[in-house]
Each structure stands twice: as structure tokens, then as C-alpha cells.
Amino acid sequence: METTIDEIAPDTFRLSTLIPDAAPGGLTFNQFLVRDEQPFLFHTGMRQLHPLVSAAIQSLVPLAELRWISFGHVEADECGAMNLLLADAPGAEVVHGNMACLLSLSDMADRPPRGMADDEVLDLGSHRLRFLPTPHVPHNWESGLWFDETTGTLLAGDLFTHTGAVPALTESDLVEPALETEALFHSTSLGPAVPSTLERLAALAPTTLAVMHGSSYRGDGATQLEALAAGYAAATAEAMS
């Protein structure tokens, strides 16, 4: 395996490892590094990926200078290597929503995490990241995402998950492959809060969607999010009929 690096937005880098047997056609596991005065990592990867991911980070910023570690929710591919990275970077802190800190991270993280309120902004120097709680979207009670107000990038986590050895960045529609993958994995909590949460994200009008599994997207992110909301609403209605 190898971890590839691509800049998907200004000073925002996708670190991607394709695992061939994780899904038909393979599945990419992506982390995103925002390079700034206070470097910020979204997703850590699993513990087994730590040698690859840490080397990729080191090629962009000194690993010991990593300042913030975050992720969408508590799951191995999102935060499995959290404590390994805390050991690598003595000044780093885990940062997530207050709910995640209360439920899990205050116990799981080797150093106390920093909790964030709804709409609270983390200033990295040049980039301003706004924290957005997204409970149960796409899954997990403590789920939350980040919006980079500086570049218009939504760190979208598991939203728009799709399979295959895909390019780092695309301007093609992500909704259809995401709905096809949802039919394969059934990984989204298709409850009544999903469409309204996605509509809130769409109102941010992101121009880049940083996707954990699959290609990231450049273009009209609001339209993509609204179409995904409609697709999930239709799937929910069908399941309940």
C-alpha cells in the first residue's frame, strides 16, 4: 500500500490510501491536512496505517508541530491512530464537539481534548474552521464536521462515500455513486434529521467537499448536498412504506 498526497484546496491536502479488499473495486481511506501556523489534521486513519499517514504528514509539515487532530466521529478509520499521533506531536490536542468529548474522548485520548460548541471557530492562523455538530449524520451521536471559511472547504467525513480507485478531485456528480454505495453498505442513519442537517451544510455554499472515502469534489457543493438530502429522503420514505 501507499499513501498519495494531493492538494485539493489552498494548503489543504488529501492523504489517501486505497485498500483493495475493503469494498468491491477497493475503498480509499482519506485524511486531510490543513497546512497553517497551527496545522490541523482531519481523520487519523487506523492504527495500522499510522506509518504511512505519519510519513505523509511529515512530508508536508514537521510531524512534531502538528497542532490539532479531529475527525467526524469515533471509529477506527476516523481516529484509530489518535494517540499515536499525540505521541508524535507533543503540542497537539484532539479537538471535537463537546458531546464527543463528554461521551468518549475525555477518556480515550491520552491528553485532554478541547471541546467545541456549535458554530464555534478554530483559528489556525490563515484558515478559520467552523465546527458543525451533525448528530447521527451520517452516523454516531457525537458526529460533527468542519467548514473552512477561508477556502470554502467542507470537511465532509463519511458523506458522499463511494468506492473504487478514484481520482483525488472531481467536478463530476458524487450523489449517484454515493447512493449506490449506501445501497451496498447501509451505513447512514436514515432518520428525519438527515435532510435538515444536509440543508444546513448546503447553506454554507461550499466550493470543495473533502470526502473521506472516494474523490473530493470541486464545484457547487450546495447543489450536491441538497441532492444527497433528497436522495436520502426518498430512501427513507421507501423504507417506511
Q: What is the pLDDT of residues 14-50, one digit of tens each?
A: 999 999 999 999 999 999 999 999 999 999 999 999 9
Total-model pTM: 0.96
Instruction: Indicate the average pLDDT of the chain.
Output: 96
Whether the CB-CB separation of 50 and 67 falls below 8 Å is answered with: no
* Residues comprising the chain, all counted: 241
Sole residue written with cell 467545541: 116
The whole-number pLDDT of residue 34 equals 98
Spatial distance between the Cα atoms of 18 and 202, rounded to a whole number of angstroms: 28
Residue 81 binned pLDDT confidence (cut-offs 50, 70, 90):
very high
Instruction: State how far Cα 8 lies from the chain centre.
Output: 14
Task: Considering only residues 160 and 237, tell me which one the structure prediction assigns the higher pLDDT.
Answer: 160
The crossing angle, in degrees rounded to 10, of helices 175-185 and 221-240 is: 40
Neighbours of 58 (CB within 10 A): 13
The whole-number pLDDT of residue 49 equals 98
The whole-number pLDDT of residue 203 equals 98
pLDDT tens-digit series, residues 209-227: 999 999 999 999 999 999 9
The whole-number pLDDT of residue 18 equals 98
209 three-class SS: strand
Burial class (CB in 10 A: 0-12, 13-18, 19+), 5: middle
Whether the CB-CB separation of 72 and 93 falls below 8 Å is answered with: no
- What mean pLDDT comes out for the span 223-238? 89
* Domain boundaries, given as residue ranges, for the chain: 3-240
The whole-number pLDDT of residue 239 equals 65
pLDDT tens-digit series, residues 170-197: 999 999 999 999 988 888 888 778 889 9
Spatial distance between the Cα atoms of 21 and 1, rounded to a whole number of angstroms: 12
State the CATH architecture for 3-240.
4-Layer Sandwich (3.60)
Neighbours of 128 (CB within 10 A): 15
Whether the CB-CB separation of 190 and 139 falls below 8 Å is answered with: no
Residue 77 binned pLDDT confidence (cut-offs 50, 70, 90):
very high
